[in-house]
Structure 1
Amino acid sequence: MFLQFLTPKFDPSLEQEYENESIEEGTSRMDENDEEFRPFIRRLPEFRFWFKATSATAISLACSLFPLFDIPVFWPILVVYFVVLFALTMRRQIQHMIKYKYIPFDIGKTRYSKKSST
């Protein structure tokens, strides 16, 4: 929910790629709305985000009161579940970073040394 709340409803980079492809193919058409200012529109509206977050918190608190819902879980299963969810959620963002050659770590980046003033 939080990622949906932070991402725009229409991804500008994807729209730009589509426009570039259509310009190359010659199928682009100019509309009067092309110059119109479009503000940031969220994929998940703020009210729905807070409503779902509050209801999830209330349900989890209610479930913690009853011993019926106290299910023992083997911890490696939770680790694998977290890794799979992370990979599925971040797949598009990671593909975008690879496409534009963005490396968030220092691996493979050029380093510049300071010149000593002698």
Structure 2
Amino acid sequence: MDAPEPDTPFAAVTAQTTRFGRIYQTYLDKSTPYVAYRWSSTGALFLLFALRIVIARGWYIVAYSLGIYLLNLFLAFISPKFDPSLEADESMEEGGESLPTKEEEEFRPFVRRLPEFKFWYSCTKAIAIGFTCSWFTIFDLPVFWPVLVIYWLILFFLTMRRQIQHMVKYRYVPFTVGKAKYSNK
């Protein structure tokens, strides 16, 4: 398909969507340093969604799907970008050494598989989509919600137990308090 002529209506629509996309991206870029405000607004949106589900007494499949997706995002957020178990297997096959286990050995900083901003952005989009879906009756499927809650809790605890065992085995901590600050004495 050829590119649209500059004076066609399609080109005008494309120009407008491109303009709105740039404005949207500008606001996203400006929100980057305000971590607490971003997560507070996402938490408020999540509470609004939860309130909608509780008051409407429906859309449990939407809530369950959102819970599974958020769990998947959280696991990617606390997982290292380069899996130490795979690197350890490769280094053992090559006859090399494994990960550093003593203070004298090389320091490797923790690099997330899913950076914080992308984690926040994906969570916010998912909650907004879930909230929107909760207003359409086509997504209100009849289910016995306690089974979904129990299944999600079992899935959460088993997955987190496995992830914590992985963290302990390969000695990494996915959370940092922040950069060390030194004062003038």
TM-score by length of 1: 0.52
Instruction: Please state if 1:49 is matched with 2:115.
Output: no
Instruction: Please state if 1:28 is matched with 2:92.
Output: no
Give the number of equivalent residue pairs.
90
Rounded Cα–Cα distance in structure 1 between residues aligned with 2:143 and 2:78: 31
TM-score by length of 2: 0.36
Rounded Cα–Cα distance in structure 1 between residues aligned with 2:126 and 2:89: 37
Matches within 5 A, 1:1-118: 1-12=73-84, 14=85, 18=89, 22=92, 27-28=95-96, 37-86=107-156, 89-90=159-160, 92-93=162-163, 95-96=165-166
State the Cα distance separating 1:49 from its structure 2 match. Answer: 1.0
41 and 95 in structure 1: CA distance in 2 versus 1, 3 angstrom threshold: closer
State the Cα distance separating 1:10 from its structure 2 match. Answer: 3.0
State the Cα distance separating 1:39 from its structure 2 match. Answer: 2.2
Query: How large is the RMSD of aligned CA atoms in angstroms?
Result: 3.7
Return 5+ residue gaps in structure 2 as ranges. Answer: 1-72, 98-104, 170-185
Return 5+ residue gaps in structure 1 as ranges. Answer: 30-34, 100-118
Rounded Cα–Cα distance in structure 2 between residues aligned with 1:92 and 1:69: 32
SS, match of residue 3 in structure 1: helix
Rounded Cα–Cα distance in structure 1 between residues aligned with 2:168 and 2:76: 21
Structure with the bigger percentage of helix:
2
State the Cα distance separating 1:96 from its structure 2 match. Answer: 4.5
